[in-house]
Amino acid sequence: MKNCGVETALAVEGGMKVVSPVTGEVVATLKAHDVAETEAAIAKAGEAFRKWRMVPGPRRGELVRLFAEELRNSKDDLGRMVSIEAGKSPSEGLGEVQEMIDICDFAVGLSRQLYGLTIATERPGHRMMETWHPLGVVGIVTAFNFPCAPWCWNSALALVCGDPVIWKPSEKTPLTALACQAVFERALVRFGADAPDGLSQVLIGGPDVGDALVTSEKVALISATGSTRMGRIVGPKVAARFGKCILELGGNNAGIVCPSADLDMALRAIAFGAMGTAGQRCTTMRRLFVHESVYDQLVPALKKAYASVTVGNPLEGQALVGPLIDEAAYDGMVAALGEVKDLGGVVHGGERVSVGPDTAYYVKPAIVEMPSQQGPVLRETFAPILYVMKYSDFDAVLELHNDVGGGLSSSIFTTDLREMEVFLSARGSDCGIANVNIGTSGAEIGGAFGGEKETGGGRESGSDAWRAYMRRATNTINYSKDLPLAQGVSFDIG
């Protein structure tokens, strides 16, 4: 496969190994790009920008419309690729591709709505307005657990906004990226000649390749999805060169189950939120506060659901929980469970399950009943562990809810209007996503996606997130014969 002028083969001697978590076996070795190739890709994207920014927005939207068609044609294959590389269940793999299709459809409409405001001016005979223009090259760095949708949240918007994109996918899931690029190229062929070379490129490699994008002054916007650890490195580097940055980092998401909750609905929502994608979603529910009056009803039912959930190979059968991404993820889970036991936590589940070769890491999702919020409960362990805590006072539990570094997603289960409104109010959840009677995960593309605090503050996808991919100009036009100065300042040179 040709990509950025570099041959990307699936079996390169001494190349970057791609391991499927389904079996733990190497499924491909790829030639990684180096820093020089990254710089060449950035230069090519810069050239593409000069042309693409002059193509009208609705015409740019036509390319994304064609891409959505190609994605529909390739949905099954891409979904299976996600399952092979990230270990997701077939339904979740297909769901991730559907999310790409949805954001493309959104972006096509958006391509005719890139509008600014007309603003009242204090000066007679003047008009003031804002205009939005393409920004420049967008560098997209993505995490393993969503190997394609976050790229598309960024690229579909960036492309209609007039920006070329360069994608550095996770070194753990590069094949899905190459497949997406191949699908995009089909759309490019159909689109015709006004798509410049270098409009969308994929760079294969690890943090060094990402760093070359992050530090390049020729990349106008870096959109980086991954751990808070990565964001702490990337954020300051982009800021140091006054670049723009969208950070989509880790979360420590919680649910609160109130006395009036529909417990059956809560149970199902918590099960998907905490165990879906084997606990490897940024929005996975990791903490659960249950009111003391319903604790003895809900928690035993949850433990039963956990004990009966099917763990297995996502490519065969109907298992709801697939593998962890690798050994390091398993070690992180074992370490966190060991730590909480020392803090008085009672662990249910969490054992390794033998599915296929020893090189694959499957686990029973774990529920941990905790006496208080401390130790590993305060951080994100990227594995299926749900810490459950009992509460009695609503105001106190809101404080605890917000008393962690992550600020991505949150939910409350209640039928009490007052509790619901407080949770959504200024003194309620401090997260970028606050839900009522649904879990923390499974966001739709129509809303802006992202979170506060250690989640990085970025917003992607729907609502007005498109503005991050454009530059804003405020224009004041004087159509009078005078030159009144703002704020009544006089500067009369006679």
Here the tokens at position 23 are: 């079996």
Taking the CB of residue 248, how many other CB atoms lie within 10 A of it?
30
Task: Check binding of 235 to ligand NAD (CB under 6 A).
Answer: no
- DSSP, collapsed to helix, strand or coil, labels residue 264 as helix
**Segment near ligand NAD (CB under 6 A); pick from 222-230, 340-348, 410-418, 477-485:** 222-230
Taking the CB of residue 393, how many other CB atoms lie within 10 A of it?
11
Residue 282 or 336 with smaller CB distance to ligand NAD: 282
Largest Cα–Cα separation, the chain: 89
Calpha distance 107→208 (Å, rounded): 31
Q: Which helix (H) or strand (E) holds 25?
A: strand 25-30
* Residue 185 annotated to the active site: no
Out of 15, 46, 207, 484, point to the residue binding ligand NAD (CB under 6 A).
Answer: 207
Task: Check binding of 260 to ligand NAD (CB under 6 A).
Answer: no
Query: Taking Cα atoms as reference points, which of 311, 327, 454, 324 lies closest to residue 383?
Result: 324
Task: Check binding of 107 to ligand NAD (CB under 6 A).
Answer: no
Task: Check binding of 153 to ligand NAD (CB under 6 A).
Answer: no
Out of 85, 211, 326, 454, point to the residue binding ligand NAD (CB under 6 A).
Answer: 211
Here the tokens at position 319 are: 């298992």
Task: Check binding of 99 to ligand NAD (CB under 6 A).
Answer: no
Calpha distance 466→158 (Å, rounded): 8
Task: Check binding of 382 to ligand NAD (CB under 6 A).
Answer: yes
317 DSSP 8-state letter: T
Query: Taking Cα atoms as reference points, which of 4, 12, 77 lies closest to residue 39?
Result: 4
Task: Check binding of 206 to ligand NAD (CB under 6 A).
Answer: yes
Residue 206 or 446 with smaller CB distance to ligand NAD: 206
Residue 351 CB, nearest approach to ligand NAD (Å): 23
Binders of ligand NAD among residues 128 to 147 (CB under 6 A) are 141-146
The contact mask relative to ligand NAD for 170-199 (x = CB under 6 A, - = no) is xx----------------------------
Task: Check binding of 233 to ligand NAD (CB under 6 A).
Answer: yes
Residue 491 CB, nearest approach to ligand NAD (Å): 49
Task: Check binding of 225 to ligand NAD (CB under 6 A).
Answer: yes
Backbone angles phi, psi at 18, to 5 degrees: -110, 120
Residue 267 or 285 with smaller CB distance to ligand NAD: 285
Residue 111 or 284 with smaller CB distance to ligand NAD: 284
Binding-residue total with ligand NAD (CB under 6 A) = 30
Catalytic pick among 92, 99, 248, 419 = 248
Out of 79, 134, 226, 279, point to the residue binding ligand NAD (CB under 6 A).
Answer: 226
Question: Which amino acid does the sequence have at 200?
Answer: S
Task: Check binding of 248 to ligand NAD (CB under 6 A).
Answer: yes
**Segment near ligand NAD (CB under 6 A); pick from 61-69, 101-109, 207-215, 298-306:** 207-215
Residue 231 CB, nearest approach to ligand NAD (Å): 8
Residue in the block written with tokens 């790009």: 33
CB–CB of 253/279 below 8 Å? no
Taking the CB of residue 276, how many other CB atoms lie within 10 A of it?
26
Here the tokens at position 49 are: 């920008």
- DSSP, collapsed to helix, strand or coil, labels residue 491 as coil
Residue 454: which residues within 8 A CB-CB, separation 6 or more?
Answer: 228, 231, 249, 250, 405, 406, 407
- Just list the catalytic residues: 248
Interface with ligand NAD by CB under 6 A: which residues? 141-146, 150, 168, 170-171, 206-207, 210-211, 214, 225-227, 230, 233-234, 248-251, 282, 380, 382, 408, 455
